[in-house]
Amino acid sequence: MKIYHLDSFQLRAVALDDDIYFVGKDLAKILGYKNERDAIRNHVRKHNKETCAIPDDRGVLQQTNCISVEGALELINTCRSTQWVPMVRNWFNSKVLPDAVRYRQALRVEDEYNYWMTPVYTYKDILKRLDVNTNVLSDFLMNHNFMDTNFHLMNKGIFIDNHKFTRVGYEFIKEMMKAEGFKK
């Protein structure tokens, strides 16, 4: 969760699936709506709303109405408070949106890193995936110091962790075996 501040107000943002959502109540409060729930119901289209579990001040998860970027713009553009809206619109467009996009991109990079670096493949999995016999794979791994003489996988940073191959480790070994001409 990311929090944006405007004067004494806060706007909470969460990443949901592949999009950024904002806590609708926070934005409605910033815009000066007296009944935040009605403002969201009346001014934000249904497909721009989601229910999210957001921690409250005590850390307890609460089901909260969240709105997409499009929903936030709908709420801002339908607000009738002429004094405050231009400032909120400017703040939202110039500060919140660019930062929210960077925030989501950073989360995507982290997700991608975790995908490739999580140890998932055992020695037997690699044998099946590469479709090679045990001796060929063992020779290759020993020659490249991925396996000791007792046939134990050796931790090698990004390739092998906790005696399992990471996805990047598997891809590396597959490409190296292909480049060095290892056959079945």
pLDDT digit string (tens) for 97-114? 999 888 888 888 888 888
> Residue 13's pLDDT band (boundaries 50, 70, 90)?
very high
**In the β-sheet with 164-166, what is the strand arrangement from edge to edge?**
119-121, 164-166, 160-161
**In the β-sheet with 61-68, what is the strand arrangement from edge to edge?**
2-6, 9-16, 19-23, 61-68, 49-55
Strand, coil or helix: 89: helix
Quick check: 155 pLDDT over 70? Answer: no
> Residue 95's pLDDT band (boundaries 50, 70, 90)?
very high
* Helix locations, 10-153, DSSP H: 24-31, 36-43, 69-77, 85-91, 97-117, 123-130, 134-143
Q: What is the pLDDT of residue 93?
A: 93
Does a structural domain hold residue 112?
no
> What's the number of domains the chain is made of?
2
Query: Is there a single domain that holds both residue 11 and residue 90?
Result: yes
The domain of 160 spans: 119-179
Q: What is the pLDDT of residue 150?
A: 80
Separation CA 157–CA 169 (nearest Å): 9
Query: Is there a single domain that holds both residue 131 and residue 93?
Result: no
For the stretch 23-54, pLDDT in tens is 999 999 999 999 999 999 999 999 999 999 98
Query: Is there a single domain that holds both residue 9 and residue 91?
Result: yes
Query: Is there a single domain that holds both residue 32 and residue 86?
Result: yes
Query: Is there a single domain that holds both residue 63 and residue 151?
Result: no
Does a structural domain hold residue 110?
no
pTM of this structure: 0.64
Query: Is there a single domain that holds both residue 7 and residue 97?
Result: yes
Does a structural domain hold residue 51?
yes
User: Cα separations (Å) of 46 from 16, 51, 53, 66?
Assistant: 16, 11, 18, 11
| Sign, Cα dihedral of 116, 14, 45, 70 | negative
